[in-house]
Amino acid sequence: VRLDIRRIGTIKKGDEAIGNETKVKVVKNKVSPPFKTAEFDILFGEGISREGEIIDMGVTAKIVDKSGAWYAYMGEKIGQGRDNAREFLRENPALSREIENKVRESLGIPMLAAEAGTADAAASASKADKSDKAEKAEKADKVEAKADAKAPKPPLSQQQPLAS
């Protein structure tokens, strides 16, 4: 996979740059169709802005209304300008999750579970994986020990002398 990554703008808070607007184009790909493009925000010290993507995809799916610089969800204004709307969603994770689930539903992607349930499920799955790995390692050790016990030992005349 070869990607062409371009900075198309700077995200500022006052005079300070806090991130970049980025455009990525897949130039070469043997696994799936090439020449796909994506645009997203990369915030310094944070990474790709999840809230910014939720806003963009919500506007595209007509779940979030954009009127001039104002963004609104179900008639309630969530911010003037994309940066303020992003901050509002960051401060209100329940609303952010609700908008994301509606966007996912409109695209036919499975919805997110509640974060607490997901964390518990992930922790129990992790514990199950660790116990399975431990059992497999223990079985492998037993098989190896049996193989060592069954293997015939060469006569003393053919054994290597111990280094001293």
Query: pLDDT tens digits, residue range 38-48?
Result: 999 999 999 99
- Domain extent, residue 4, equals 1-48
Q: What predicted TM-score, i.e. pTM, was given to this entire model?
A: 0.62
One domain, residues 22 and 63: no
> For residue 7, is it within any domain?
yes
Q: Give 56-96 pLDDT, tens digit per residue.
A: 999 999 999 999 999 999 989 999 998 899 999 999 999 99
- The residue-averaged pLDDT of 132-139 equals 69
> For residue 1, is it within any domain?
yes
Two tokens at 78?
Answer: 């969530």
Q: Among candidates 17, 67, 14, 71, which has minimal Cα distance to 42?
A: 17
Dist CA 161 CA 36 (whole Å): 65
Asked if pLDDT for residue 125 goes beyond 60, the answer is no
One domain, residues 43 and 67: no
Dist CA 16 CA 12 (whole Å): 5
One domain, residues 106 and 60: yes
Query: How many helices, marked H, and strands, marked E, lie in the chain?
Result: 4, 7
Amino acid at 104: R
One domain, residues 61 and 22: no
- Rounded to a whole number of angstroms, the distance between the first and last alpha carbons of the chain is 55
The answer to whether residues 63 and 41 touch, using CB atoms and an 8 Å cutoff, is: no
Q: Among candidates 69, 36, 40, which has minimal Cα distance to 54?
A: 40
Q: Say how many domains are in the chain.
A: 2
Residues 6 or more apart whose CB falls under 8 angstroms from that of 57 comprise 103, 107
One domain, residues 41 and 54: no
The percent of residues above 90 in pLDDT, for the chain, comes to 55
One domain, residues 56 and 40: no
The answer to whether residues 96 and 90 touch, using CB atoms and an 8 Å cutoff, is: yes
